[in-house]
Amino acid sequence: MFENQAPSGPSTLFAKDIFKGRVAVVTGGAGAVCASLCGMLANHGCDIVCADQEQQRVDEVVARVRDAGRIGLPVVTDLTTTKGMDELKQAALKKFSRVDILVNGLGENLNSWGAFEESNEATWQALYEINLLNVFRACHHFIPVMKEQGWGRILSFSSVEGIRASPWLAVYTAFKRAVDAFTKSIAVDVARHGILVNALALDKVRAYQSNFYELPDEYLRLVETWIPAGRYGEPADAAAVALYLLSPANSWIVGQTVVADGGTLAAGGWYRTTKRWTNQPLLVQHLESPEINETRPKPLQ
């Protein structure tokens, strides 16, 4: 494995109070990446509304926010429904009377793996509600608030799978790509109001949805083949990128989907073997003795 290690925690990326006086609403706030982001925001002076369905995990995030000396408001509701999103808006504005930052972190593939022709409309609808419709609703609720304030930051979570092909996840990837398109269009419309809207596309980051990549031991030797950075991303890796995009330090990135993936998209299907880069990897090379690989033609090593 490469000697490339995850950060210990970017708690001092910015001045301690760079988010002082700001309020962030984070949907899917109990997820691994968003939980890390909530902690970072709080450490830099931000109050947090953490919205999700997992009561215990929401409580843990709110406790972390409060430990940082900030106000943490838990909202446990189904954000895929109009009622749930209305509850979120009412709770946030009742508590703080303002919302400066919106993080649309809710999203999931719902284990919808399979050939498209074997899928059904109920699955399509569920994927739409959890990956795209809630983004529409949240932005619809909070953009007017930000316009009135004259400042805002919105970040929606996309996916590298929405940019490249993802066999057996066609509908999920379609909605993730739609997040990118929505981000571009809404961003250029509201930028003049001091509201910057962007998206974050992730890949190979340890999270609940990927079961934190807890794979059998024999797979560990393949990580440097799959990921140019040589390791899985940690929630803090992705959260640190989000923190910058949401901060006052970002004043000129508008309507972009920023990719944070350890290089998987840039590699474009190229993989590192034990000897070289190839677009036709023999993964068995990582599971056999090096002497066997030496007997192959050089282009295959």
- Sketch out the chain's domains with CATH numbers: 23-263 (3.40.50.720), 270-301 (no CATH)
Residue 15 has what pLDDT?
82
Residue 125 has what pLDDT?
98
Best CA proximity match to 198, nearest among 135, 147, 141: 135
Specify the residue for token string 């972009």: 256
Question: How many C-beta atoms surround the C-beta of residue 56 within 10 A?
Answer: 8
Residue 147 has what pLDDT?
98
Q: Write the pLDDT tens digit of every residue in 66-104.
A: 999 999 999 999 999 999 999 999 999 999 999 999 999
Residue 121 has what pLDDT?
98
Residue 244 has what pLDDT?
97
Residue 106 Cα distances to 58, 127, 158, 227, 272, angstroms:
13, 11, 10, 25, 33
* Spatial contact of 208 and 31, defined as CB atoms under 8 Å apart: yes
Residue 277 has what pLDDT?
80
Residue 8 has what pLDDT?
43
Residue 77 has what pLDDT?
98
Residues of the chain with pLDDT under 70: 1-13, 299-300
